[in-house]
Chain A
Amino acid sequence: MTQTGSGLLQPAPADQFGPVIPGPPIVRRPLALKVPVAFAGLTLLAVVAFVFGSDAGLTTRFSLASETDFFQLPDFAVPTRPAATVLAIIMAGLTLLAFQSAAQRHKLGLWLPSVFGLAWILSFMVWVIAGKTSTWTIPALLAASLSLSIPLVFGAMTGLVCERVGVINVAIEGELLAGAFLGAVAASAAGSAYVGLIAAPLAGMLVGALLAVFAVRYWVDHIIVGVVLNVLVTGLTSYLFSTVLKSNAGLNRATQLPKLPIPILGDIPVIGPVLFRQSLLVYLMYALVVGLQVMLFRSRWGLRMRACGEHPEAADTVGIQVNRTRIRNTILGGAIAGLGGAFFTIEMGLAFNKEMSAGKGFIALAAMILGRWNPKGAVAAALLFGFAGELAQMMGTMNTPIPSNILLMIPYLLTILAVAGLVGRVRAPAAEGTFYRS
Chain B
Amino acid sequence: MRLELRGISKRFGDFWANRGINLTVEPGEIHALLGENGAGKSTLMNVLYGLYQPDEGQIILDGEAVKFTSPGDAMAAGIGMVHQHFMLVPVFTVAENVVLGNEPVKAAGLIDAKQARRLVTEISERFKFDIDPDAYVEDLPVGVQQRVEIIKALSRDAKILILDEPTAVLTPQETDELLTIMRELAAGGTSIVFITHKLREVRAVADRITVIRLGKVVGQANPSDSQTEMASMMVGRQVGLQAPKPAAGPGEVALKVGNLSLVSASGGGLLQDISFDVRAGEILAIAGVQGNGQTELVETLIGLREPTSGLIELNGESLAGRTVRQILDSGVGYVPEDRGRDGMVGGLAISENLVLDQFEYPPFGRYGALDYKAINSNADAQIKAFDVRVGSPNDPISTLSGGNAQKVIVARELSRELRLLVVANPTRGLDVGSIETVHAEILAERAKGVPVLLASTELDEITVLADRIAVMYRGRLVGIVPGDTSRDALGLMMAGVEQGKALAAVGAALPDQDDSVEGDLA
Do any beta carbons of A and B sit within 8 angstroms of each other in the complex?
Answer: yes
Could you list which residues of chain A lie within 8 angstroms of chain B, going by C-beta atoms?
1, 3-10, 12, 15, 17-18, 20-21, 25-30, 105, 294-295, 298-301, 303-304, 306-307, 310-311, 313-321, 425, 427, 430, 438
Which single member of B110, B269, B293, B501 contacts A17 (CB below 8 Å)? B501
Contact of A8 among B113, B267, B269, B497 (CB under 8 A): B269
Q: Of B272, B299, B473, which one neighbours A20 at CB under 8 angstroms?
A: B473
Does B273 reach chain A (CB closer than 8 Å)?
yes
Measured CA separation A313–B71 after assembly (Å): 11
Q: Which residue of B lies closest to A314 (CB)?
A: B87
CB–CB A17/B96 < 8 A: no
The one of A4, A17, A26 in contact with B268, judged by C-beta atoms closer than 8 angstroms, is A4
CB of A321 within 8 A of CB of B89, answer no
Q: Which residues of B contact A304 (CB under 8 A)?
A: 100-101
User: What residues on A are CB-neighbors of B273 within 8 Å?
Assistant: 26-27
Instruction: List residues of chain A with CB within 8 A of the CB of B475.
Output: 7-9
Which residues of B are found within 8 Å of A317, using beta-carbon distances? 49, 51, 71, 81, 83, 87
A185 shortest CB reach to chain B, Å: 35
* A8:B474 contact, CB within 8 angstroms: yes
Which of under 10, 10 to 19, 20 to 34, or 35 or more describes the interface residues of B? 35 or more
B292 within 8 Å of A (CB atoms): yes
A8-B292, A300-B109 known; A1-B299 Cβ under 8 A: yes
- Count of CB-CB pairs between chains A and B under 8 Å: 175
Counting from the closest, the 3 A-B pairs by CB-CB distance are: A7-B268, A319-B72, A29-B267
| Known contacts A3-B265, A9-B269; A318 and B92 CB within 8 A of each other | no
A-chain residues with CB within 8 Å of residue B269 when the two chains form the complex: 7-9, 25, 27
A146 CB to nearest chain B CB (Å): 28
Check if A425 sits within 8 Å of B109, measured CB to CB: no
Closest CB of chain A to B172's CB: distance in Å? Answer: 14
Within the complex, the shortest CB–CB distance from B327 to chain A, in Å, comes to: 16
Q: Indicate if the CB atoms of B111 and A298 lie closer than 8 Å.
A: yes
Q: How far is the CA of A320 from the CA of B72 in the complex (A)?
A: 7
Q: List 21 A-B contacts (CB under 8 A).
A: A1-B304, A4-B264, A5-B266, A8-B268, A12-B473, A12-B474, A17-B502, A17-B505, A18-B501, A21-B473, A27-B263, A294-B110, A300-B110, A304-B100, A306-B92, A311-B89, A314-B97, A317-B71, A318-B100, A425-B265, A427-B91
User: Are B110 and A303 within 8 A (Cβ)?
Assistant: no
| A311 and B268 form a contact (CB under 8 A) | no
CB neighbors of A among B463-520 (8 A): 473-476, 478, 492, 495-498, 501-502, 505
Residues of A within 8 A of B262 (CB): 27
Given contact pairs A4-B138, A304-B100, A9 touches B505 in the complex (Cβ within 8 A): no
Nearest opposing residue in chain A for B71, CB measure:
A317
**Residue B251 lies at the interface, judged by CB distance under 8 Å to chain A:** no
- Contact pattern, B 85-99, Cβ under 8 Å of A = 1, otherwise 0: 011111110001101
> Which A residues lie within 8 Å of B497 (CB)?
15, 17, 20
Q: Which residues of chain B are within 8 angstroms of A295 by Cβ–Cβ distance?
A: 109-110
B175-216 CB mask vs A (1 if < 8 Å, else 0) is 000000000000000000000000000000000000000000
A318 and B102 contact, CB distance less than 8 A: yes
13 further A-B contacts with Cβ under 8 Å, apart from A3-B264, A21-B473, A21-B478, are A5-B266, A5-B268, A7-B267, A7-B270, A8-B292, A12-B496, A17-B498, A25-B269, A30-B308, A300-B105, A318-B71, A320-B100, A320-B101
Contact of B474 with A21 in the complex, beta carbons under 8 Å: yes
Residue contact A314 to B492, C-beta cutoff 8 Å: no
List residues of B (55-83) whose CB comes within 8 Å of A's CBs: 70-73, 75-76, 81, 83
User: Quick check: B496 and A314 within 8 Å, CB to CB?
Assistant: no
Bound Cα distance from A311 to B263, whole angstroms: 27
Query: Nearest-CB distance from A19 to chain B (Å)?
Result: 9
A310's nearest neighbour on chain B, judged by CB, is B89
Give which listed residue, A3, A20, A30, A303, contacts B96 with CB less than 8 A.
A303
CB distance from A436 to the nearest CB of B (A): 12
| Interface residue B108 (Cβ < 8 Å from any Cβ of A) | yes
Pair A6/B496 contact, Cβ less than 8 Å: no
B84 vs chain A, min Cβ distance (A): 12
Judged by a CB distance under 8 angstroms, whether B395 is at the interface is no
Contacts of A21 in B (CB 8 A): 473-474, 476, 478, 496, 498
Q: Which of B70, B139, B309, B492 contacts A27 (CB 8 A)?
A: B309
Whether, in the assembled complex, B42 has its beta carbon less than 8 Å from a beta carbon of chain A, the answer is no
Do B92 and A310 touch (CB < 8 A)? Answer: yes
Partner of B108, one of A299, A318, A438: A299
User: How many Å from the CB of B66 to the closest CB on chain A?
Assistant: 15
Check B267 against A316 for contact (C-beta < 8 Å): no
| Contact yes or no, A8 B293, CB < 8 A | yes
Chain A residues positioned under 8 Å from B103 (CB to CB): 300, 303
Does the CB pair A3–B266 fall under 8 Å? yes
Is residue B261 contacting chain A, with contact meaning CB distance below 8 A?
yes
Query: Closest Cβ of chain A: how far from B502's Cβ, in Å?
Result: 8
**Complex CA–CA separation, A299 to B505 (angstroms):** 49
- For the complex formed, measure the closest distance between the CB of A317 and the CB atoms of chain B, giving whole angstroms: 5
B51 near A27: Cβ-Cβ < 8 Å: no
Residue of B nearest to A11 (CB): B474
Q: Give Cα A155–Cα B478 distance, bound, in whole angstroms.
A: 52
Chain A residue numbers with a CB within 8 Å of B99 are 303
Say which residue of A5, A299, A307, A438 sits within 8 Å of B92 (CB atoms). A307
Minimum CB–CB distance for A349 against chain B, Å: 35
- Asked, given contacts A20-B498, A319-B71, whether A25 binds B272 with beta carbons under 8 Å apart, the answer is yes
Task: Among B49, B87, B272, point to the contact of A311 (Cβ < 8 A).
Answer: B87
A11 to chain B, nearest CB (A): 9
Q: Tell me the minimal C-beta distance from B477 to chain A in angstroms.
A: 9
B111 touches A316 (CB 8 A): no
User: When chains A and B are docked, how far (Å) is the Cα of A30 from the Cα of B97?
Assistant: 33
Does B139 lie within 8 Å of A6, measured CB to CB?
yes
Closest to B99 in A: A303
How distant is A33 from chain B, measured CB to nearest CB, in Å? 14
- Taking CB atoms, residues of chain A closer than 8 Å to B86 are 314
Chain B residues 438-479 with CB under 8 Å of chain A are 473-476, 478
Q: What residue of chain B has the Cβ atom nearest to residue A429's Cβ?
A: B91
In the bound complex, CA of A28 to CA of B263 (Å) = 8
A314 and B108 within 8 A (CB): no
Residue of A with least CB distance to B96? A303
Q: Point out the residues of chain B lying under 8 angstroms from A18, CB to CB.
A: 501
Query: Chain A residue with minimal CB distance to B104?
Result: A300
Interchain CA distance A7-B111 in the complex, whole Å: 30
Minimum CB distance partner of B305 in chain A: A1
Contact of B101 among A1, A6, A311, A319 (CB under 8 A): A319
With a CB–CB cut-off of 8 A, which chain B residues contact A306? 89, 91-92
Given known A-B contacts A21-B498, A310-B89, A310-B90, A30 and B263 have beta carbons under 8 A apart = yes
Q: Are B266 and A314 touching (Cβ within 8 A)?
A: no
